[in-house]
Chains A and B, each alone.
Chain A
Amino acid sequence: MKALRATWTLFAKECRLEFRTRELLTATVVFSLIIIVFFSFAFDPTPAESRRYGPGLLWIAFFFAGSLMVNPSFAREQINDTLDALRMAPVPSFAVLSAKILANLLFLSIAEAILVPVFSVFYNVSLVGIVGRLILVLVLGTVGLVITGTVFSAISAHARMRELLLPVLLLPFLTPVLIAAVSTTISLFGDARELDRTWVTFLAGFDIVFLAASWILSDFLAEG
């Protein structure tokens, strides 16, 4: 119960920090928009090609933006040595980590909620009838991304060149999530508009495995 309350307090702190300036959210949305627009310049896709390649584009935009977005979670705690304060606080280290995971999940979901409709308009991909299932895929993929992204941001926060190091650590690691999320989204956008259950289960499995691993290893992360 105490851990839950601590997580909630820390989550509220993260939200307050972000919503005061909204700088992270704005930068993430604009960055993803640039990728989406650049894709159009680079490949000039027809509507059929958009349906085929759009999911890949969408997820690449989310992955790149997400890998940049999770970077400040721990890095900005170092400016005023607030990371030390968090470490000394009488709360479990997983509470600190999970508050940051939840905050990143919220921010990236907001960015996705803005970007998916924009993508659908720009590339003539209709979302009618698949919104619910698409949200499920987006949530499962994003959860996988933010869990590992937040853990790796705690690791890279202590390194030199951390802004560059984090995507280098994170993106190869997330290959399975990228493959699964893109494959499911392709099947959703396709003519059959079906949800590929194998990939959905796979995504859920990835999330569970790495949530458990983060829980087990969170004490070491806090100490590092």
Chain B
Amino acid sequence: MKARIPITLLVAALVFFGGFAGLFIAPDEATMHEIQRIFYFHVPLWTAMTLALSISCFSCIAWLVSRRATFDLLAVAGAEVGVLCCTGGLITGMLWGKPVWGIWWTWDARLTSTFVLWLLYISYLLLRELIEDPHRRATLSAVFGVFAYLDLPIVLLSTTLWRTQHPQPVLFGGPKSINHTMLMVFLLCMVAIVGVMILILIDRYRLERLRFELDELRVEIESREMDAQQLPAKQAVPGKELPAKGTA
């Protein structure tokens, strides 16, 4: 992992320049002014979350099909980083909502479905904590992971049919076009935040792998200890006990 330090430095620089550009370079927005600048951090967090959760779902399916431990570790890393991004997205959304809507929270379609998504993945992580056996934990949480991911579009559809008041997308399919500088700053922030997500994901994956290896070593030590205890009993023939230490 020699590339680790330069990559981390690169992402740090991107975050610095992205943050600076978002706060000071991007032009003032006509209706919301300064408040709108949170958009450069809020929207990339959702992109990062979608990516992390998609990696998690893909890994769940890959584990069920291939049974390679890597995918199970990647699934939990993806889900955890996804929850982190989701929490960040919810908090930045609330910070924006208070001055613009006048309230911290409203039961609008996107907000509600995101909150349900957050709850679903928190319960996924909880499920993993509560199952002891590693193989069983991997399989059962993978099944839940696939179910949860399948549920996401259905939750979004149901809450959209229920109600919506969130601003409509400005980039894809939105009615208005976006200022060129704004777009550049937005893309820079997007790359920076997705970069941070990927760095955390890789670190989380490595931590999980170390845990996995530690568990395997523990199991091996235990099995060796059990063998060592059973061995003298097997060798002990009546009348020919092994001499006790110090008497030989």
What residues of chain A have their CB less than 8 Å away from a CB belonging to chain B? 148, 151-152, 155-156, 158-162, 165, 168-169, 172-173, 175-176, 179-180, 183, 198-199, 202, 205-206, 209-210, 213, 217, 220-221, 223-224
Contact = CB atoms under 8 A, between A and B. Distances in A.
24 contacts: A151-B147, A152-B144, A155-B140, A158-B136, A162-B130, A168-B123, A172-B119, A172-B120, A172-B123, A173-B147, A173-B148, A173-B151, A176-B155, A176-B158, A179-B158, A179-B161, A183-B162, A202-B158, A213-B146, A213-B150, A220-B139, A220-B142, A220-B143, A224-B140
A179 B143 contact: no
Contact of A158 (B119, B131, B146): B131
B161 A198 contact: yes
| B contact patch SS | helix
A102 B140 CA distance: 22
Contact of B143 (A155, A161, A168, A202): A155
Contacts of A175: 112, 116, 155, 158-159
Interface residues of B, number: 31
B152 to A, nearest CB: 10
B147 A179 contact: no
Contacts of B157: 176, 202
A205 B157 CA distance: 12
A224 B135 CA distance: 8
Contacts of A151: 143, 147
Nearest to B63: A220
A161 to B, nearest CB: 6
A83 to B, nearest CB: 12
Contact of A179 (B140, B141, B159): B159
Contacts of A156: 127
Nearest to A156: B127
Nearest to A203: B158
B163 to A, nearest CB: 10
